Structure 1
Amino acid sequence: MLDKLLQGVEVRSLVGDGTVAVGRLEFDSRKVVPGTLFFATRGTQADGHAYIPAAVAAGAAAVVCEELPAERPAGVTFVQVPDSTVALGQVASAFYGHPSRRLKLVGVTGTNGKTTTATLLYRMFRRLGYKAGLISTVVYCVDDREIPSTHTTPDSIRLNAMMAEMVEAGCDYCFMEVSSHSLVQHRTAGLAFVGGIFSNITHDHLDYHKTFAEYIRAKKLFFDGLPAGAFALTNADDRNGMVMVQNTKATVKTYALQSFADFRCRIVETLLDGMLLNLDGSEVWVKFLGRFNAYNLTSVYATALLLDARRDEVLRILSDLTSVDGRFEPIHSKEGVTAIVDYAHTPDALQNVIGTINEIRKKDQRLYVVVGCGGNRDATKRPEMAKIAVDGSDMAVLTSDNPRLEEPGAIIEQMKSGLEPGARYLAITDRREAIKAAVALARPGDIILVAGKGHETYQDVGGVKHHFDDREEVRAAFGTVF
């Protein structure tokens, strides 16, 4: 019944039968069937209020909207609310039986590290003997069942439907990435979190948020909304780490590699196959490289302890965890060339990955960096990305990422604007040919970083997604060149 779904929702007015039966929720008028509760939400491209007549014609039993339409056919209930997207999250939660309240739900937000942290927590708790769910950029998991990922954070209906599946499957925990877009769009409204993790915040998504201050504000919304009794775990080494938790009702905990913090980590030694970390006085060998991964692993360690896992078990499992698909993923040729495929698509992430490689490579090992920038996204980072790639390598190969609706060559020209005269680089628009060129240049022992797409198995060109996997392309190039 509609009235039960609206409990806890701020309703300004209700026109019609408040007890009408609701069998389905939709915010896309094309998916409306008889008995649907349709939400007229305002998006970046369209206003759902314009599609109310289509939803009604398709048989919507009720409509949630911010502005009541002039024409309100008899037999259809109209619910006016301050914000339709907030109401959508709240109603979706109620429709599926408030599944997040029946899970221990932990959200991870920040610019870099969200996927690795959420995925490693999911793997950690499954190895601790629990059933768990995962909502990430790479994949959604309901215990051991994998579902292809479409968004970092899905819409409110799909989120709650998946969490209901997790509850049905007997899951105790759910670990999810929380994107800045989803926070501004209130996709997490109605969810009950027991904890939140902040990784870091750097230059990204300014095409959407317009200013860095707005991007920070979007991330901060997550911690502002955490309830008393939850934990807010923040990176004390990030200059905005404490800003994130200024107004939270949650219990604030910190982790760091440099600052004083509740959970401390120090990198003792780094070799080609891993690092020796000191976590709160205990040394543990991990199969990861780089300071950025030391931060990720420290947040995983801290979160596990905050969720009452045994410390000795956490450290044991931490030493056995492996990298996430497309995150610093190594591929070796028979001749001794190593390619590293990584999702790094922001200046900070690219700097971190290149810095890590430069820390461990020997003087006679050359580094080649293949990198591009996405189209129809934040263009201001393009010159900086190119400069980081050129400055940190022996040779950079500037190429396409997902050009989307932009001209690939124009994106590369914008990247080149950040380079000094005489900079060492190649510009090859075709990404496959760019990878082949780097492989052709590499000698045994050299390292090739292929950055930007990581786990993705497509390339978006002209708004059409074609199959393309950097890992497949590297393997093919290794096979054809040598």
Structure 2
Amino acid sequence: MKFEQLIKKISYISAKKQNDFEIKEISNNSKDCSHADTFAAIKGNVLDGHKYIEDAIKYGAKTIIHTEDIDYLDNINYIKVSDSRKITSEISNILADFPAKKMTLVGVTGTNGKTTTASLIYFLIKEIFGSATNIGTDGAFVNGQRIETPNTTPNIFFINKVLNESLEKNINRAVIEASSHGLDQNRLLGINFDYGVFTNLSAEHLDYHKTMDNYFSAKMKLFEVSKVKIANFDDPYGRKSKELFDDVITFGLNEGSDYRAYEVKKIEKTTHFKVKDQDFTINSIADYEVYNSLAAITCLNQMGVDLKEISENLIKFKGIPSRFQFIENDLGKNIVIDFAHTPVAFDSLFKTIPKDVKTYAVFGVNGDRNYEFRKSTGNVCAKNKVFAVLTTDDNKFDTYENITSDVISGIEEFHGEYIKIENRKEAIKWAIKNANKGDYIVTLGKGEERFLKHHGNEKTYYNEYETILEALREI
């Protein structure tokens, strides 16, 4: 697209044209400018893109989007705007020819359960309609083919690229995980959803959002752009969403929900329940999986799929890696990987485990969580009589000792048990060795992530599943 054509389609403060290069691709990463011709300088919470403008030009950028006053170089086009995040999303949608408008889209948001709910909806759409795309925490899946994603909600360039690839393969239904950061930072700007799903809300990311009201408002940006709105009515914030949007369709276990699960029974490693007189079975004993399933059942039924057909396909879903995933072993011990990383998620998981055995939880807490979050995590362990094996997660800019002392304050408040073992593999080994047959060892917080952040945001390779297998071999 010509420079003159583009600036007619966007709002800007000033524009300076100094070359005739066409604008074909935009990025906010200077290193991408070896193939992207336009660089957007975005001022974030940690990094300021304006500091990388020279690098972007060296890599090959011909047009610069900026918000601050900068020195202009010859032969480079410049567009000064008031909000570079917003304009970047607008330009990306224009260059990609708005692929979202050509698809049926489902957005899933909430503190816990986003990934499983989105993956389940994706699975059901694929089984029932034949093809689908899923973009989220565990990667982008274009009808089963995986593409690595940089964030839970990737930037708009990545999303548009994946959606266009999907359309090229005649896939016209997609599910997107919508994180509060992604919604607040306009990473989904210009994308309207046919179905928006809200799972729940609990304290997390308050280092970014500051208050729960801000956090909730960020989540509700999804409902503002969704035709059909679906929310967990058992969650206080789900009920609050119904107050804001009177057309919200609800699910839950309590009376008053539009889609209510009742006659819930656990049999071995399955859970059985009814919704609107239809029997459903899921391959999990985790209580929260009933809510994830209800969200998916509601969404698919709203798409026009009969409840019986949903039930016949739901039973085929075996879950996703690192969500209450049992690790086979010959020790007779229940070793489980789960991505749970908030106090509420911990509490839900601990309440799922049988009470006649001991539970060891191996976990750390991220360095960017506040004292109350860390203390609450310790409280939850102690209240559920779970033995906490305190180890490393993403320390980032904090220290293991500082993080752990905050968690311990919560454990000791309710006279809980704990041990400190900084090395994550050694912590896992200790828990496995000390557990008796039938006991549960749950490793929490990392899931399918392939890294640990020891120093700032620098990533060191780490794989929870591989580490557990190594620990079992060494034992």
1:308 to 304, 307, 322: 304
Q: Which moved more, 1:458-467 or 1:438-447?
A: 458-467
Aligned to 1:238: 235
Distance 1:372 1:267 in 2: 36
Q: 1:392 to 1:12 in 2, by over 3 A?
A: same
Task: Work out whether residues 21 and 35 of structure 1, in 8 Å CA contact, stay in contact via their aligned partners in 2.
Answer: no
Distance 2:107 2:396 in 1: 29
Aligned to 1:39: 40
2:466 pairs with 1:472? yes
Q: 1:242 to 1:15 in 2, by over 3 A?
A: farther
Which blocks of at least 5 consecutive residues in structure 2 are unaligned?
none
Task: Supply the AA of the counterpart residue of 1:44.
Answer: N
SS in 2 for 1:194: strand
Aligned to 1:158: 158
SS in 2 for 1:477: helix
Aligned to 1:401: 393
Q: 1:4 to 1:245 in 2, by over 3 A?
A: farther
Distance 2:193 2:19 in 1: 30
Q: Deviations over 1:120-162 (max 9, x none)?
A: 1111111114211111111211112111232101111111111
Deviation for aligned residue 1:283: 1.6
Aligned to 2:442: 449
Deviation for aligned residue 1:89: 1.0
Task: Work out whether residues 458 and 466 of structure 1, in 8 Å CA contact, stay in contact via their aligned partners in 2.
Answer: yes
Deviation for aligned residue 1:410: 2.1
Distance 1:127 1:7 in 2: 43
Aligned to 1:138: 138
2:82 pairs with 1:82? yes
SS in 1 for 2:42: coil
Number of residue pairs matched by the alignment? 472
Q: 1:235 to 1:42 in 2, by over 3 A?
A: same
Q: Which moved more, 1:195-204 or 1:390-399?
A: 390-399
Deviation for aligned residue 1:75: 4.5
Q: Which moved more, 1:307-316 or 1:179-188?
A: 307-316
Distance 1:118 1:34 in 2: 32
Deviation for aligned residue 1:191: 1.5
State the TM-score, normalized to the length of structure 2.
0.92
Structure 1 runs (4+) deviating above 6 angstroms are none
Deviation for aligned residue 1:119: 0.6
Q: Which moved more, 1:191-200 or 1:393-402?
A: 393-402
Identity over aligned pairs, percent: 28
Task: Supply the AA of the counterpart residue of 2:236.
Answer: R
Task: Supply the AA of the counterpart residue of 2:375.
Answer: P
Task: Work out whether residues 89 and 156 of structure 2, in 8 Å CA contact, stay in contact via their aligned partners in 1.
Answer: yes
Distance 2:327 2:77 in 1: 58
Task: Supply the AA of the counterpart residue of 1:239.
Answer: P
Aligned to 2:27: 26
Deviation for aligned residue 1:287: 0.6
SS in 1 for 2:193: coil
Task: Supply the AA of the counterpart residue of 1:94.
Answer: I
Q: 1:4 to 1:44 in 2, by over 3 A?
A: same
Aligned to 1:423: 416
Task: Supply the AA of the counterpart residue of 2:113.
Answer: G
Aligned to 1:114: 114
Aligned to 1:433: 426
Task: Supply the AA of the counterpart residue of 2:48.
Answer: D
Deviation for aligned residue 1:33: 4.8
Which blocks of at least 5 consecutive residues in structure 1 are unaligned?
none
Aligned to 1:298: 294
Task: Work out whether residues 267 and 275 of structure 1, in 8 Å CA contact, stay in contact via their aligned partners in 2.
Answer: no
Deviation for aligned residue 1:416: 0.7
1:83-482 matches, within 5 Å, as 83-226=83-226, 230-244=227-241, 251-357=247-353, 361=354, 363=356, 365-420=357-412, 422-463=415-456, 464-481=458-475
Q: Which moved more, 1:135-144 or 1:455-464?
A: 455-464
Q: Deviations over 1:417-455 (max 9, x none)?
A: 113375322121121111111111111111112111122
Q: 1:370 to 1:35 in 2, by over 3 A?
A: closer
Distance 2:405 2:176 in 1: 37
SS in 2 for 1:32: helix
Task: Supply the AA of the counterpart residue of 1:190.
Answer: G
Q: Which moved more, 1:255-264 or 1:43-52?
A: 43-52
Deviation for aligned residue 1:88: 0.9
Q: 1:266 to 1:8 in 2, by over 3 A?
A: farther
Distance 2:35 2:176 in 1: 33
State the TM-score, normalized to the length of structure 1.
0.91
Deviation for aligned residue 1:68: 5.2
Deviation for aligned residue 1:349: 0.2
Distance 2:212 2:309 in 1: 40
Q: 1:398 to 1:49 in 2, by over 3 A?
A: closer
Deviation for aligned residue 1:35: 7.7
Deviation for aligned residue 1:301: 0.6
SS in 2 for 1:49: helix
Task: Work out whether residues 360 and 387 of structure 2, in 8 Å CA contact, stay in contact via their aligned partners in 1.
Answer: yes
